[in-house]
Amino acid sequence: MALDASLERCGNALILRRGPPASTLLQLARATGAKAVHWNRLHEPALAARDERLASELAASGIEPIIHDSALLCPPGAIRNAAGGPFRVFTPFWRRLRTRLAELPAALPAPRRLPALDRAPMSLPLDKLQLLPAVRWDAGLAQRWQPGEAGARRRLVRFVAAGLAHYVDARERPGEPGTSSLSPHLHFGEVSPRQVYAALQPLSAAGSEAFLRQLGWREFAAHLLHHFPHTASEPLDARYAGFDWRDDRDELAAWQQGRTGFPIIDAGMHELWHTGWMHNRVRMITASFLTRNLLMDWRAGARWFHDTLVDADLANNTLGWQWAAGCGADAAPWFRIFNPVLQGRKFDPTGRYVRRWLPELAGLPDRWLHEPWAAPARLLRRDTGRWPPPLVDLAASRARALAGFRHHLAAQRLRSPPA
Ligand SMILES: Cc1cc2nc3c(=O)[nH]c(=O)nc-3n(C[C@H](O)[C@H](O)[C@H](O)COP(=O)(O)OP(=O)(O)OC[C@H]3O[C@@H](n4cnc5c(N)ncnc54)[C@H](O)[C@@H]3O)c2cc1C
């Protein structure tokens, strides 16, 4: 609807069709007399392959495919290490990319006019596409997000004016609006990273470099998925292939539904379900909990995130999950396991985040908020008393994970000793 409204302001309208891309576009091109089809390059391996096929089918039929690069600051493949290979570590990748940013061509402004055809081509009505879920679980998403370019622009302008200066201090505190929330807009191309880069000028402003570096992680994620497409389903660090992850449906459901008994985890899973988004720090804590304390397959977590996040992005999600599971680029080492109680106290010290998402715990004093099971009985109200007991013992589950990783890596070394 937002795109249609933007096109209408230029004197045109969005045309909706459904069918195989090449034949559907060819039919439309023939009906309108179009000589070329323009689109923006996507980098997910399956989509890139589809678009490559599309480009050759269009070209074979005399329609020129014109592909633009605006999803990333730098197309994947353009940044290489001294040996000409892909980077597997973020910092040198970022150093190389950072030096190239000053040469970036400026983003073009949107066209003011897009002349419409005399006879508008047939378009399906939007509701024919049945894009909304049959069971309307999505009300919270509409409260939080304004999809489309105008919503993206508003967030960017507001963040640069009011958030950027505090970004370094506030970005790790999930209880505060300390980050930009641009991720779904970036994912869907409603704002491009070059537009974000331009809005950050002059880069001397507080927070600019730290924020730009996060865009660097986004580039790095796309770079990794481009060079190592198997990592969407297999670990980048091959030593972790075949790890014997646990498979416990009840525990997975407790994690998905925010019933683990650990407030920072459960608050995060509630935030995800209600808004389609979760703060980065909490993504790290919840992912660590699933892959280490519950010792469950990172792919099960990645699937749940992919299904529920409004910014679900194969490259970023894969990077995040492999980081948490210890099997990706620059990953958290296998022996470093987050303690959700300590993480909660450190990053949500006043309990604002937990109280917002778990109102049943709101009355507990800060001292007990991140470990309600330890609170004196007189402090537990009736609703707080129903709080689920911890799903696992933190010390025992930590020891289980350490033993599992140690054993697996030792077996790997025996199988393929270092040269
Ligand atoms: C387990 C896990 C799964 C994740 N899954 C996704 C996902 O599906 N989609 C997604 O966009 N991000 C994902 N992230 C990265 C990160 O959590 C989000 O990009 C960030 O929380 C978005 O909020 P923001 O826009 O306010 O970020 P800001 O801090 O304002 O950062 C600005 C932009 O930089 C990019 N960015 C920031 N951090 C990262 C990062 N660690 N990796 C890659 N890009 C980053 C995003 O595009 C973001 O919009 C995941 C992280 C983890 C740990």
Question: From the CB of 208, is ligand 1 less than 6 Å away?
Answer: no
Question: From the CB of 320, is ligand 1 less than 6 Å away?
Answer: yes
pLDDT above 90 (res 321): yes
What is the pLDDT, as a whole number, of residue 377? 84
Average pLDDT over residues 303-331: 95
pLDDT above 80 (res 238): yes
Query: Which atom of ligand 1 lies closest to the CA of 215?
Result: 34
- Tens-digit pLDDT profile for residues 145-167: 999 999 999 999 999 999 999 99
What is the pLDDT, as a whole number, of residue 107? 87
Does domain 238-415 bear CATH number 1.10.10.1100? no
Average pLDDT over residues 253-269: 98
- Given a contact cutoff of 8 angstroms between Cβ atoms, the answer to whether 221 and 273 are in contact is no
- Given a contact cutoff of 8 angstroms between Cβ atoms, the answer to whether 7 and 14 are in contact is yes
Best probe residue, ligand 1, of 185, 219, 256, 311 (max atoms within 8 Å of C-beta): 311
Question: From the CB of 185, is ligand 1 less than 6 Å away?
Answer: no
What is the pLDDT, as a whole number, of residue 116? 87
Q: What angle do CA 165, 276, 135 make, to 5 degrees?
A: 155
Q: Which of 317, 300, 323, 305 shows the shortest CA–CA distance to 236?
A: 323
pLDDT above 60 (res 419): no
pLDDT above 70 (res 417): no
Q: What angle do CA 265, 258, 387 make, to 5 degrees?
A: 95
For 254-286, b/e burial (b = at least 16 CB within 10 A) is bbbebbbbbbbbbbbbbbbbbbbbbbbbbbbbb
Q: Which of 152, 173, 142, 149 shows the shortest CA–CA distance to 279?
A: 173
- Given a contact cutoff of 8 angstroms between Cβ atoms, the answer to whether 201 and 107 are in contact is no
For the chain, give every domain's residue range. 1-69, 143-227, 238-415
pLDDT above 80 (res 400): yes
CA distances, 57 to each of 25, 38, 51, 78, 327 (Å): 10, 14, 10, 26, 39
Question: From the CB of 280, is ligand 1 less than 6 Å away?
Answer: yes
- Tens-digit pLDDT profile for residues 47-75: 999 999 999 999 999 999 999 999 999 98
Looking at 3.60.140.10, 1.25.40.80, 1.10.600.10, 1.10.486.10, the CATH number of the domain 143-227 comes to: 1.25.40.80
Q: First CA to last CA across the chain, in angstroms? A: 59
Nearest CA to ligand 1 atom 36: 214
- Tens-digit pLDDT profile for residues 99-139: 999 898 888 888 899 988 888 899 999 999 999 888 888 88
Does domain 1-69 bear CATH number 3.40.50.920? no
Please provide the average confidence, as pLDDT, over all residues in the chain: 94
Nearest CA to ligand 1 atom 48: 183
Average pLDDT over residues 228-245: 95
What is the pLDDT, as a whole number, of residue 241? 93
- Mention every residue, 6+ apart, whose C-beta is less than 8 A from residue 98: 212, 216
Question: From the CB of 329, is ligand 1 less than 6 Å away?
Answer: no
By CB neighbour count within 10 A (0-12 exposed, 13-18 middle, 19+ buried), where does 155 fall?
buried
- Given a contact cutoff of 8 angstroms between Cβ atoms, the answer to whether 270 and 368 are in contact is no
Percent of the chain surpassing pLDDT 70: 99
> Coil, helix or strand for 53?
helix
pLDDT above 80 (res 381): no
- What is the rounded distance in angstroms from the CA atom of residue 179 to the CA atom of residue 168? 9
pTM of the model: 0.96
- Tens-digit pLDDT profile for residues 9-29: 999 999 999 999 999 999 999
- Given a contact cutoff of 8 angstroms between Cβ atoms, the answer to whether 370 and 358 are in contact is no
Question: From the CB of 160, is ligand 1 less than 6 Å away?
Answer: no
Which helix H or strand E contains 38, and what residues bound it? strand 36-40
Question: From the CB of 214, is ligand 1 less than 6 Å away?
Answer: yes
- Tens-digit pLDDT profile for residues 164-215: 999 999 999 999 999 999 999 999 999 999 999 999 998 888 899 999 999 9
Q: Which of 6, 15, 8, 10 shows the shortest CA–CA distance to 37?
A: 15
Question: From the CB of 180, is ligand 1 less than 6 Å away?
Answer: yes
